[in-house]
């Protein structure tokens, strides 16, 4: 009787260990991580679905960048031609997808007073 009880106890413990030893199946799909990039420049054109800005390029010459805007894009300020914009975006292939745009009005330079 003691042998049967001992064997039954060992059997239950082995089954419990086997249940805990199972590994979970990990997903083999690669995780897509989007790097958010930030850039500032002068707005050339803007509408409901796109934004074009001009910024100083890496060589010092002006460079135009085009961004796709959608319903998820956070917009702050008045996006009009000549305003300065800071754009946070991700890239999807060759498409720049804006995640947020903050526009500030262009600085107006007051004319200097002429001394009489």
- 90: its two tokens: 């991700």
What are 40-66's pLDDT values in tens digits?
Answer: 999 999 999 999 999 987 888 899 999
Collapse the DSSP code of 110 into the 3-class scheme (helix H, G, I; strand E, B; otherwise coil) and give the result. Answer: coil
Question: Are 87 and 53 contacting, i.e. CB atoms less than 8 angstroms apart?
Answer: yes
The rounded distance, in Å, linking the Cα atoms of 30 and 32 is 6
Assign domain 37-104 to its CATH superfamily. Answer: Copper binding periplasmic protein CusF (2.40.50.320)
The rounded distance, in Å, linking the Cα atoms of 63 and 52 is 10
Name the residue ranges covered by the structural domains of the chain: 37-104
Average pLDDT over residues 96-115: 83
What's the predicted TM-score (pTM) here?
Answer: 0.64
């Amino acid at each position: 009787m003691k042998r049967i009880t001992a064997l039954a106890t060992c059997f239950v413990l082995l089954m419990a260990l086997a249940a805990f030893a199972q590994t979970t199946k990990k997903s083999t799909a690669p995780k897509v991580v989007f790097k958010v990039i930030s850039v500032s420049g002068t707005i050339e054109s803007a509408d409901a679905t796109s934004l074009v800005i001009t910024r100083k390029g890496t060589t010092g010459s002006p460079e135009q960048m085009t961004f796709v805007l959608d319903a998820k894009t956070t917009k702050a300020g008045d996006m009009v031609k000549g305003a300065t914009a800071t754009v946070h975006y991700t890239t999807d292939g060759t498409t720049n997808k804006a995640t947020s745009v903050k526009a500030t009005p262009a600085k107006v330079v007051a004319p200097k007073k002429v001394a009489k």
